[in-house]
């Protein structure tokens, strides 16, 4: 059975310490706030949510607490974490929440006793798909009647031009099952908005139009082949000059990984560029942050074992006049996953190094830039080795951790290969 690690939280924003507040489940740049559609996400395939880890930047305080709860279609579900007093971490590894395609999810934070206003929660959560190797990629975008808009394929970073919204993906697979859920319909038919996955600057077969008076749509018929290094984003195109403009849409799609147990997180700066000559940081998982010289202000947190990182892909908006070096960092240290892109080039990758995540660990990406300042976009593969496959290196030249079945038998059911315990 395969799993996916979802990242959430924004490392500069805290839930209210006086009233209930809400956020996205897999949060890429969304702040805490009142319940509204901006913070809701739509599920594109069936599975379960479980194994939720949260890390706080500051404890709630003596006699004070926060209760964090997953909500399903507007109703609190069983997956919940309470963090109280001097604690800065918490987990729920007992409960799970079953989801199906079209479900709406978000996070509720409920304070008690006026806890610290600077808790800044970040988290990870596990998604276990009903169909092996289906990963949920959650995004969002605004629908404007003035022209085409582009949004990050994961997270939703936006811009009027495609180049500011693309990210390279770090592993191969198939895109499928595009789902859209809009906060409001487009007006009156034939008013509509068309949503599509863009690949390497061109539209793809994965697309759906939502025509008034409808607010939902999907494409479960088409697929798009993806290779490591391909760039992706979401386009939203108005049709017939819709009367309603500016409404948010929850957008999601499925990434079916070619290699078992692989998924990804995408990251980028938020239209700004790293300052030349200074090491600066962004979170590992977020597509809407500016670079900061203070790493503590740009962290992804709440990581968990046994997940690992590999295949770090980086792409620039244009070729810089100097060298750029990017490092994936864990717990305040370089992990060994690094990319240096020389002057005049626009892309690079590190497919040689791996890194094991640690429970509740914080992660970031650093950049030391020289020459001209340019925009930086990246993606990194998050994966797990099949349970027990630690003593076998390769089978017929293929890494054992990349094999889902041997002679039709799931690797989890195999105890030995040629007498060697797996």
The whole-number average pLDDT for the span 289-304 is 87
Q: What pLDDT digit, counting tens, does each position of 23-71 carry?
A: 999 866 678 998 877 889 999 999 999 999 999 999 999 999 999 999 9
Query: In 3D, which of 101, 92, 138 has the Cα closest to residue 264?
Result: 138
φ, ψ of residue 322 in degrees (nearest 5) = -140, 180
Q: Which pLDDT score is estimated for 300? A: 87
Over residues 208-236, the pLDDT tens digits come to: 999 999 999 999 999 999 999 999 999 99
At residue 80, the pLDDT reads 98
Q: pLDDT at residue 416 above 60?
A: no
- What is the C-alpha separation between 204 and 237, in angstroms, rounded? 14
Pull the structure tokens for residue 315. Answer: 């792409």
Domains of the chain and any CATH numbers: 4-132 (2.60.120.40), 135-258 (2.60.120.380), 263-383 (2.60.120.40)
Quote the tokens at residue 261. 């147990």
pLDDT at position 389 over 60? no
Lowest-pLDDT range, 47-61, 178-192, 243-257, 386-400? 386-400
Q: Above 50 in pLDDT, residue 296?
A: yes
- pLDDT at position 273 is 86
pLDDT exceeding 70 applies to what percent of the chain?
Answer: 88
pLDDT for 118 beyond 70: yes
Which band of pLDDT confidence, cut at 50, 70 and 90, is reported for residue 421?
A: very low
Other beta carbons less than 10 A from residue 133's beta carbon: 21
Query: How far apart, in Å, do the first and last CA atoms of the chain sit?
Result: 17
Residue 385 pLDDT > 80: no
- Give me the torsion for CA of 303, 307, 310, 312, rounded to 10°: -30
- 198-204: average pLDDT: 95
What is the reported pLDDT for 420? 47
Pick the range with the lowest mean pLDDT from 48-52, 254-258, 384-388. Answer: 384-388
Range in 92-96, 258-262, 289-293 with the lowest mean pLDDT: 289-293
User: Cα dihedral sign for 404, 172, 223, 135?
Assistant: positive
359 DSSP assignment: T
The answer to pTM > 0.75 is: yes
pLDDT tens digits, residue range 124-149? 999 999 999 999 999 999 999 999 99
- Is the CA virtual torsion 195, 198, 202, 207 positive or negative? negative
């Amino acid at each position: 059975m395969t799993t996916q690690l979802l990242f959430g939280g924004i490392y500069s924003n805290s839930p209210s310490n006086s009233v209930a507040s809400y956020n996205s489940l897999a949060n890429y740049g969304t702040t805490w706030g009142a319940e509204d559609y901006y913070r809701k996400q739509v599920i594109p395939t069936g599975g379960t949510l479980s194994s939720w880890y949260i890390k706080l930047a500051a404890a709630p305080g003596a006699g004070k607490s926060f209760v964090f709860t997953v909500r399903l279609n507007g109703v609190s579900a069983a997956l919940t974490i309470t963090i109280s007093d001097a604690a800065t971490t918490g987990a729920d590894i007992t409960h799970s929440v079953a989801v199906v395609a079209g479900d709406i999810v978000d996070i509720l934070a409920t304070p008690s006793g006026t806890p610290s206003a600077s808790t800044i929660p970040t988290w990870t959560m596990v998604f276990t798909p009903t169909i092996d190797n289906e990963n949920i990629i959650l995004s969002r975008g605004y629908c404007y009647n003035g022209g085409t808009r582009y949004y990050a394929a994961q997270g939703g970073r936006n811009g009027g031009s495609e180049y500011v919204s693309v990210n390279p993906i770090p592993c191969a697979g198939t895109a499928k099952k595009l789902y859209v859920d809009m906060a409001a319909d487009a007006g009156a038919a034939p008013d509509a908005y068309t949503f599509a996955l863009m690949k390497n600057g061109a539209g793809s077969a994965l697309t759906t139009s939502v025509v008034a008076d409808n607010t939902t749509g999907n494409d479960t018929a088409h697929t798009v082949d993806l290779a490591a290094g391909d760039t992706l984003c979401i386009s939203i195109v108005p049709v017939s000059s819709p009367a309603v403009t500016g409404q948010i849409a929850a957008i999601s799609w499925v990434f079916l990984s070619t290699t078992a147990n692989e998924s990804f997180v995408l990251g980028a700066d938020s239209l700004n560029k790293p300052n030349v000559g200074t090491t600066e940081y962004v979170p590992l998982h977020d597509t809407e942050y500016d670079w900061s010289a203070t790493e503590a202000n740009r962290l992804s947190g709440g990581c968990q074992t046994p997940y690992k990182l590999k295949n770090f892909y980086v792409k620039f908006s244009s070729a810089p006049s100097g060298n750029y070096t990017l490092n994936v960092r864990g717990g305040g240290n370089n992990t060994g996953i690094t990319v240096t892109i020389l002057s005049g080039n626009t892309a690079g990758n590190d497919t040689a190094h791996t890194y094991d995540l640690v429970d509740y660990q914080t992660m970031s990406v650093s950049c030391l830039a020289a020459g001209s300042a340019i925009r930086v976009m990246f993606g990194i593969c998050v994966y797990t080795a099949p349970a027990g496959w630690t003593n076998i290196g390769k089978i017929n030249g293929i890494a054992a951790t990349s094999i889902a079945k041997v002679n039709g038998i799931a690797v989890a059911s195999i105890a030995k290969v040629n007498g060697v315990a797996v």
